[in-house]
Chains A and B, each alone.
Chain A
Amino acid sequence: MQWETVIGLEVHAQLSTQSKIFSGASIAFGAAPNAEACAVDLALPGVLPVLNRGAVERAIRFGLAVGAKINSPSIFARKNYFYPDLPKGYQISQYELPVVEGGTVMFHVAETEKTVRLVRAHLEEDAGKSLHEDFHGMTGIDLNRAGTPLLEIVSEPDMRSSAEAVAYAKTLHSLVRWINICDGNMQEGSFRCDANVSVRPRGSGRLGTRCEIKNLNSFRFLEKAIDHEARRQIEIIEDGGTIQQQTRLYDPDRDETRAMRSKEDAQDYRYFPDPDLLPLEIPSSWISEVRDVLPELPAQMRSRLERDYGLSSYDAETLTADREIADYFVAVVSNLPSDPKLCANWVMGETSAYLNDAGKSFEHCPLSPGELAQLLTRIKDGTISGKMAKEVFRQMWSRRSEQETGWKSLQAKTDQSLVDQIIESQGLKQISDSGAVEKLIDEVIATNPKSVEEFKAGKEKAFNALVGQVMKAARGKANPAQVNEILRSKLK
Chain B
Amino acid sequence: MSLSLDDVKRVANLARIEIGEEEATTALAQLSGIFSLIRQMQAVDTAAIAPMSHAQDVMQRLRADIVTETDQRDLFQSIAPQVEAGLYLVPKVIE
* B-binding residues in A (CB < 8 A): 17-19, 23-26, 32-39, 42, 44, 50-56, 73, 75, 80, 82-84, 96-97, 130-132, 135, 137-143, 249, 260, 267-268, 270, 273, 275, 277-281
Q: Output the residue of B55, B67, B84 with the most chain A CB within 10 A.
A: B67
Knowing A33-B86, A34-B76, A137-B92 are in contact, say whether A75-B53 is a contact too (CB < 8 A).
Answer: yes
A24 contacts B85, C-beta separation under 8 Å: no
Sorted nearest first, the 4 A-B pairs with minimum C-beta distance are A54-B65, A24-B68, A140-B87, A33-B86
Q: CA–CA, A53 to B71, complex, Å?
A: 23
Given contacts A18-B65, A19-B69, A32-B86, 12 further A-B contacts (CB under 8 A): A34-B76, A34-B77, A37-B73, A50-B61, A53-B63, A80-B15, A83-B93, A130-B93, A139-B91, A140-B84, A278-B58, A279-B53
B15 contacts across to A, CB distance below 8 A: 80
B54 contacts across to A, CB distance below 8 A: 273, 275, 278-279
Residue of B63, B69, B88 touching A52 (CB-CB under 8 A) = B63
What residue of chain A has the Cβ atom nearest to residue B51's Cβ? A96
Q: CA–CA, A53 to B61, complex, Å?
A: 9
A84 contacts B86, C-beta separation under 8 Å: no
B92 contacts A53, C-beta separation under 8 Å: no
How many chain B residues touch A (CB < 8 A): the figure is 38
- Distance from B51 Cβ to chain A, minimum over Cβ atoms (Å): 8
Q: CA–CA, A142 to B59, complex, Å?
A: 33
Residue of B56, B58, B76, B88 touching A141 (CB-CB under 8 A) = B88
Which residues 39-69 of B sit at the A interface, judged by CB distance below 8 A?
51, 53-56, 58-69
Q: Output the residue of B56, B72, B88 with the most chain A CB within 10 A.
A: B88
B66 contacts A279, C-beta separation under 8 Å: no
* A-binding residues in B (CB < 8 A): 14-16, 51, 53-56, 58-69, 71-73, 76-77, 82, 84-95
Pairs A–B under 8 Å by Cβ, sample size 6: A26-B67, A84-B88, A140-B84, A142-B86, A275-B55, A280-B59
B62 contacts A52, C-beta separation under 8 Å: yes
Knowing A51-B60, A139-B93 are in contact, say whether A34-B88 is a contact too (CB < 8 A).
Answer: yes
B84 contacts across to A, CB distance below 8 A: 135, 138, 140
A268 contacts across to B, CB distance below 8 A: 14
Q: Output the residue of A26, A44, A270, A279 with the most chain B CB within 10 A.
A: A279
Q: CA–CA, A17 to B88, complex, Å?
A: 26
A137 contacts across to B, CB distance below 8 A: 92
A24 contacts B63, C-beta separation under 8 Å: yes
- Distance from B31 Cβ to chain A, minimum over Cβ atoms (Å): 14
Knowing A82-B16, A138-B89, A141-B87 are in contact, say whether A278-B59 is a contact too (CB < 8 A).
Answer: yes
B62 contacts across to A, CB distance below 8 A: 50-53, 56
B82 contacts A278, C-beta separation under 8 Å: no
Residue of A35, A54, A80, A135 touching B89 (CB-CB under 8 A) = A135
A280 contacts B92, C-beta separation under 8 Å: no
B58 contacts across to A, CB distance below 8 A: 278
B82 contacts A138, C-beta separation under 8 Å: yes
A143 contacts across to B, CB distance below 8 A: 88
A19 contacts B82, C-beta separation under 8 Å: no
A97 contacts across to B, CB distance below 8 A: 53
Q: CA–CA, A56 to B64, complex, Å?
A: 11
Q: Output the residue of B58, B60, B92 with the most chain A CB within 10 A.
A: B60
A35 contacts B73, C-beta separation under 8 Å: yes
Q: CA–CA, A384 to B73, complex, Å?
A: 64
A25 contacts B73, C-beta separation under 8 Å: no
What residue of chain B has the Cβ atom nearest to residue A97's Cβ? B53
What residue of chain A has the Cβ atom nearest to residue B77's Cβ? A34
